[in-house]
Copies of this chain bind each other. A is one copy, B any other.
Amino acid sequence: MTPAGRRIAAAAEELFYSRGITAVGVDLIAERSGVTKRTLYNQFGSKDHLVATYLRERDQRWRSLVQAALDVGETPVEAVTAPFEALRTWSETNSRGCAFINALAELPDPSHPAHRLATDQKLWLLNLFEELATRAGCSHPATLASQLLVLHEGALATQPLSVDTLSTTTELARCLVRSSVRDQERQALDHRP
Give the B-binding residues of A (Cβ under 8 A). 18-20, 22-23, 96-98, 101-102, 104-108, 118-119, 122-123, 126, 143, 146-147, 149-158, 160-161, 163, 165, 168-169, 172, 176
Residue numbers in B under 8 Å from A161 (CB-CB): 118-119, 122-123
Which of B122, B158, B163 touches A158 (beta carbons < 8 Å)? Answer: B122
CB-defined contacts of A149 to chain B, threshold 8 Å? 154, 158, 165
Contact between chains at B151 and A163 (CB < 8 Å) = no
Chain B residue with Cβ nearest A97: B105
Interface centre among A19, A97, A147 (most CB of B within 10 A): A147
Asked if A143 contacts B168 (CB within 8 A), the reply is: yes
Contacting A101 at CB < 8 Å: which of B22, B105, B143, B169?
Answer: B105
A106/B23 in contact, CB under 8 A: yes
Consensus secondary structure, chain A interface: helix
A147 CA to B101 CA in the complex, in Å? 20
Would A172 and B147 count as touching, CB distance under 8 A?
yes
Question: Which of B104, B122, B123 contacts A97 (CB under 8 A)?
Answer: B104
Taking the nearest CB of chain B, how far is it from the CB of A169, in angstroms? 5
Are B154 and A105 neighbours in the complex by a CB distance under 8 Å? no
A119: chain B residues at CB < 8 Å are 161
Leading 6 A-B pairs by shortest Cβ distance: A154-B154, A102-B105, A150-B154, A22-B22, A153-B157, A105-B105
Other than the given A150-B154, A150-B168, A154-B155, 6 more pairs (CB < 8 A) read A20-B105, A101-B105, A105-B105, A106-B106, A150-B172, A152-B154
Q: List, in ascending order, chain B residues with CB within 8 A of A163's CB.
A: 122-123, 126, 146
